Chain A
Amino acid sequence: MATLSPPVEAPVAVRRGVWGWITTTDHKKIGILYGSSAIVFFVVGGIEALLIRVQLAAPNGEFLSADAYNQMFTMHATTMVFLVVMPAAAAFTNYMLPLLIGARDVAFPRLNAFSYWVFLSGGLFLTVSFFLGGAPDGGWFGYAPLSTQVTEVVRMDYWALGLIIVGTASLLASVNFITTVFTMRAPGMTLMRMPVFAWMSLVVNFLLLFSLPIITVGLIQVFLDRNLGTLFFDAASGGDPILWQHMFWLFGHPEVYVLILPAMGIVSEVLPTFARKPLFGRSFVIFSGIAIGFMGFGVWAHHMFTSGLGPVAEAAFALTTMFIAVPTGVKIFNWMGTIWGGSLRLNSSMLFSLGFIAMFVIGGLSGVTHAVAPADWQQHDTYYVVAHFHYVLVGGAIFGLISGLYYWWPKITGKLLDERLGKWHFWLMMIGFNLTFAPMHILGLNGMPRRTYRYPEGLGFEFWNAMATIGSFLIGVAMLVLFWNLYRTWRRGEIAGPDPWDGRTLEWTISSPPPEHNFDQIPVVEREDDFWHRKYRTAEDGTAIAIEPAPDMSFEREDNIHLPSPSFYPTLAAAGLFVVVMGLVYVPWGLVAVGVGAVLTLWGLFGWSMEPLTREEH
């Protein structure tokens, strides 16, 4: 195989230091940047969650004030959705998508860098609000008038502008990734031969492409209502707060699939690898992903059953919501078909994928109960809903992403994660997660409302709340185990080699970590799971027989490889945007900062458009 002795020393990229990272246009380094930022924001969002749980551990909690509590639940949700799960998925998409489809980079490497730095600006902008007079406190959904009232002068301005910025980053990234998939696939890599993770990324980016402009318009209207005196959501003057709810959820429900589909893609890569079987009903998995994408735009009003839509609309949205469970159920059965009869290797990555399936089924089933409108009236705004979406977003999305971390970490760093620690991590997480969120079903059905900072004694809420708090700290311990594992492995982990899992897809044909140009020669793909079929042929009884000798995946490096040149301009333009939004919060005197930031951004964009695209490698 190509590189029998993978590099032990730090790769070239690291040695170039901080400036190398700031100016990088390499999709792999940008992926690592996204991933590291997601981990940092995960710690921030996790601390917010623990503060909430400490407050609710016992009746009449004194730990947080009502005001602080409002900031915590708003920022916990905003952080976890926009600054953790989305960038973590973007990290895998950035790093893996070009490798999976056999490309040397994404279509627009500098735009890719710009997306990352804009995202980081937005994340820092949202987080820094804690130190500048208080964080957003109107809920991550920002219902008017909570978002439009101007009593707390700047808090929800941070929220509206921050989400616009983060959304812009995702929108640009989605244009980039969609173009990449449509134009940069290796010869023979037809759309239907693409790995399922690449497919799910494609669907996610279409969802972002079509849903982000809607929320952007809504957020701009909120911002103008707050700062210019427009009347979009001012009920007293004829504006309609329900319009905001429609716009938010018309974005917000596709967003749910933006969060879960990357995890589904990862699981669809992990299960076949560790079951040593092809994905069962592969095209069904792909098409149900596409179906989820389409139907995701037709179910939004099930978030609004209590806002008085009338029986016809409620019945319609109840039905579409039940229907969208069908393609999701198809996937569950395909995954079970994949592991059925496979020779399973129960390592950490596989455990998290299996955990994903189990937890996601629970979350999915409680989701279907929300589709029943009369039942939803009862459950609305209770902890039952909190339990539901944590089962799909933590038990689903986060479990899937962690599975991907264990799966691809050896490719990214060249080192294997410690399996013993990995299993500790999994079981602590599994127990902690269920201890935290399963009781919330009971609390919710017993009537405990969401988003209230304390509850009185004697309502029967004490025991399960105490359990949930214990569980949340178990999750915290589990995450510490993961971080220790990452750190230890990064220092002195077992060398992985190019193909530690006996993988099926193109990324395992190259060294770990991959060279800067990814492929010495652009691969030519002949079928699905191309790499697997180069290694194994199928015997008559269906078992895989290794082909001797093992395929030689080492190639002469092509001459004339063009790699994108590093560039400072995308970073400069993104920094300018940060200054612009900072200024917009403090209008009118902040307009000076708006001007300065605009000049920086234009300077960045101008320099960007004027510099040459590529450099010859070495």
Chain B
Amino acid sequence: MSTDTLVQDHGGTHDVSHLRKVAMWVFLGSEVLLFGSLITTFLLYRTRIGDGPGAEEIFDIPFTSVSSFILLMSSLTMVMAHHSASRKDWRQMRVWLLATGMLGMVFLSGQVFEFTEFVEEGLTVTTSPFGSSFFVLTGFHGAHVAVGVLMLLATAFMSFTGRLRDGEGMNVEIVGLYWHFVDIVWIVIFTVVYLMQV
């Protein structure tokens, strides 16, 4: 980045939303290593199932495919929200933000349902290293989705009060960066943890 890209107005104050966007990119770089470590752990333990059920016995690929599709669609609605925001169409932006949040919550409900199914079939965090690493990895991802949903709702809420226009609070673009990242991580998890193990 050279000096001419510096966003600077009077008195050395900087454009806050630009700073936040850079910070979000930097932070997501760190998140890559977080999920990388969790996925590595899972790959090491994927066959260490002890006396418990293994991947092939419990995974319900059609069900998880549907919930994965729903999460992917939420990236589309997120793009729409960002698009509306760039046209300053705040009403439509709120609609798309809430739609994205709803899809995220549907995905989370799917994950809760899936977890209860697995527990009933005898796989818990204490059953085997496979169980430990599966639940902690997907649980971490679920927690990230939940945080994303909160960010979406907060952004939609703050746009009612007009704060968003003044550059305060979460910028839609920044929430979008985070949301797309969490989606991409799920694509990796779905491929590596689900599809490649059955």
Stretch from B8-16, B66-74, B79-87, B104-112 at the A interface:
B8-16
Task: Answer whether residue A238 sits at the interface, using C-beta atoms and an 8 A cutoff.
Answer: yes
Which residues in window 139-192 of A have CB below 8 A to B? 171, 174-176, 178-179, 182-185, 187-191
Contact of A243 among B14, B27, B44, B168 (CB under 8 A): B44
Which residues in window 126-149 of B have CB below 8 A to A? 126, 128-129, 131-133, 136
Q: Complex formed: what's the CA distance from A239 to B27 in Å?
A: 30
For B47, give the chain A residue with the smallest CB separation.
Answer: A238
- Interface contacts (Cβ under 8 Å), in number, total 134
Residues of A within 8 A of B48 (CB): 238-239
Which residues in window 15-53 of B have CB below 8 A to A? 16, 18-19, 22-23, 26-27, 29-31, 33-34, 36-38, 41, 44-45, 48, 50
Task: Answer whether residue B6 sits at the interface, using C-beta atoms and an 8 A cutoff.
Answer: yes
CB-CB under 8 A for A519 and B132, given A213-B30, A213-B31, A213-B37 = no
Q: Complex formed: what's the CA distance from A239 to B45 in Å?
A: 8
Task: Answer whether residue B1 sits at the interface, using C-beta atoms and an 8 A cutoff.
Answer: yes
Q: Are A179 and B136 in contact (CB under 8 A)?
A: no
Residues of B within 8 A of A613 (CB): 16, 168
Interface hub of B10, B22, B37 (most chain A Cβ within 10 A): B37
Residues of A within 8 A of B2 (CB): 190
CB-CB under 8 A for A214 and B33, given A224-B136, A228-B125 = yes
Task: Answer whether residue A420 sits at the interface, using C-beta atoms and an 8 A cutoff.
Answer: no
For B170, give the chain A residue with the smallest CB separation.
Answer: A609
Q: Are B10 and A560 in contact (CB under 8 A)?
A: yes
Q: Are A183 and B44 in contact (CB under 8 A)?
A: no
CB distance from A98 to the nearest CB of B (A): 10
Stretch from A103-111, A532-540, A547-555 at the B interface:
A103-111
Contact of A217 among B12, B34, B132 (CB under 8 A): B34
What class of interface size applies to chain A in its complex with B?
Answer: 35 or more
Q: Are B11 and A559 in contact (CB under 8 A)?
A: yes
Q: Are A175 and B12 in contact (CB under 8 A)?
A: no
Q: Are A214 and B37 in contact (CB under 8 A)?
A: yes
Q: Are A224 and B37 in contact (CB under 8 A)?
A: no
Q: Complex formed: what's the CA distance from A176 to B27 in Å?
A: 9
Stretch from A5-13, A229-237, A282-290 at the B interface:
A229-237
Task: Answer whether residue A209 sits at the interface, using C-beta atoms and an 8 A cutoff.
Answer: yes
Q: Are A522 and B12 in contact (CB under 8 A)?
A: yes
Q: Are B38 and A209 in contact (CB under 8 A)?
A: no
Q: Are B26 and A178 in contact (CB under 8 A)?
A: yes
Residues of A within 8 A of B129 (CB): 231-232, 234, 237-240
CB distance from B48 to the nearest CB of A (A): 4
Q: Are A183 and B7 in contact (CB under 8 A)?
A: yes
CB-CB under 8 A for A184 and B133, given A212-B30, A228-B125 = no
Contact of A230 among B3, B11, B33, B126 (CB under 8 A): B126
Contact of A209 among B8, B30, B50 (CB under 8 A): B30
Task: Answer whether residue B122 sits at the interface, using C-beta atoms and an 8 A cutoff.
Answer: no
Q: Are A231 and B128 in contact (CB under 8 A)?
A: yes
CB-CB under 8 A for A179 and B26, given A230-B136, A232-B129, A561-B11 = yes
Q: Are A108 and B34 in contact (CB under 8 A)?
A: no
Which residues in window 165-198 of B have CB below 8 A to A? 168-170
Q: Are B12 and A179 in contact (CB under 8 A)?
A: no
Q: Are B6 and A185 in contact (CB under 8 A)?
A: yes
Residues of B within 8 A of A3 (CB): none
Contact of B126 among A175, A216, A229, A609 (CB under 8 A): A229
Return the CB mask of A334-347 against B: 1 if under 8 Å, else 0.
00000000000000
Residues of B within 8 A of A178 (CB): 23, 26
Task: Answer whether residue A210 sits at the interface, using C-beta atoms and an 8 A cutoff.
Answer: yes
Q: Complex formed: what's the CA distance from A558 to B12 in Å?
A: 9
For A560, give the chain B residue with the smallest CB separation.
Answer: B11
Return the CB mask of A513-540 against B: 1 if under 8 Å, else 0.
0000001001000000000000000000
Residues of B within 8 A of A492 (CB): none
Q: Complex formed: what's the CA distance from A303 to B131 in Å?
A: 30
CB distance from B29 to the nearest CB of A (A): 6
For A297, give the chain B residue with the smallest CB separation.
Answer: B33
Interface hub of B10, B30, B154, B169 (most chain A Cβ within 10 A): B30
Residues of A within 8 A of B14 (CB): 107, 183-184
Task: Answer whether residue A400 sits at the interface, using C-beta atoms and an 8 A cutoff.
Answer: no
Task: Answer whether residue A247 sits at the interface, using C-beta atoms and an 8 A cutoff.
Answer: yes
Residues of B within 8 A of A559 (CB): 10-11
CB distance from B108 to the nearest CB of A (A): 19
Q: Are A183 and B34 in contact (CB under 8 A)?
A: no
For B38, give the chain A residue with the smallest CB separation.
Answer: A217
Q: Are B38 and A210 in contact (CB under 8 A)?
A: no
Contact of B19 among A104, A108, A221, A234 (CB under 8 A): A108
Residues of A within 8 A of B36 (CB): 214
Residues of B within 8 A of A218 (CB): 37
Residues of A within 8 A of B12 (CB): 103-104, 519, 522, 558, 561-562
Q: Are B18 and A243 in contact (CB under 8 A)?
A: no
CB distance from B27 to the nearest CB of A (A): 5
For B15, give the chain A residue with the smallest CB separation.
Answer: A183
Q: Complex formed: what's the CA distance from A243 to B37 in Å?
A: 10
Which residues in window 455-494 of A have CB below 8 A to B? none
Interface hub of A179, A214, A237, A561 (most chain B Cβ within 10 A): A179
Q: Are B3 and A213 in contact (CB under 8 A)?
A: no
Task: Answer whether residue A614 sits at the interface, using C-beta atoms and an 8 A cutoff.
Answer: yes
Q: Are A183 and B30 in contact (CB under 8 A)?
A: no
Q: Complex formed: what's the CA distance from A239 to B10 in Å?
A: 58
Residues of A within 8 A of B33 (CB): 210-211, 213-214
CB distance from B115 to the nearest CB of A (A): 14
Residues of A within 8 A of B132 (CB): 221, 224, 230-232, 239
Q: Complex formed: what's the CA distance from A220 to B136 in Å?
A: 9
For B135, give the chain A residue with the smallest CB separation.
Answer: A230
Q: Complex formed: what's the CA distance from A125 to B44 in Å?
A: 33
CB distance from B148 to the nearest CB of A (A): 16
Q: Complex formed: what's the CA distance from A183 to B18 in Å?
A: 9
CB-CB under 8 A for A179 and B19, given A171-B30, A238-B50, A240-B44 = yes
Q: Complex formed: what's the CA distance from A523 to B12 in Å?
A: 10
Q: Are A108 and B23 in contact (CB under 8 A)?
A: yes
Return the CB mask of A595-618 against B: 1 if under 8 Å, else 0.
000000000000001001110000
Apart from A175-B26, A224-B125, what are 9 other A-B pairs with CB-CB below 8 Å?
A: A210-B30, A217-B37, A217-B41, A228-B125, A238-B48, A238-B128, A238-B129, A562-B11, A609-B169
What are the 10 A-B residue pairs with the smallest beta carbon separation, nearest first?
A213-B34, A230-B132, A217-B37, A238-B48, A229-B126, A213-B33, A562-B13, A179-B23, A522-B12, A561-B11
A–B complex contacts, Cβ < 8 Å, 14 sampled: A108-B19, A178-B26, A183-B22, A184-B19, A185-B3, A185-B6, A210-B30, A238-B129, A239-B45, A240-B129, A243-B41, A558-B10, A562-B11, A613-B168
> Could you tell me which A residues sit within 8 Å of B by CB distance?
103-104, 107-108, 171, 174-176, 178-179, 182-185, 187-191, 209-214, 216-218, 220-221, 224, 228-232, 234, 237-240, 243, 247, 519, 522, 558-562, 609, 612-614
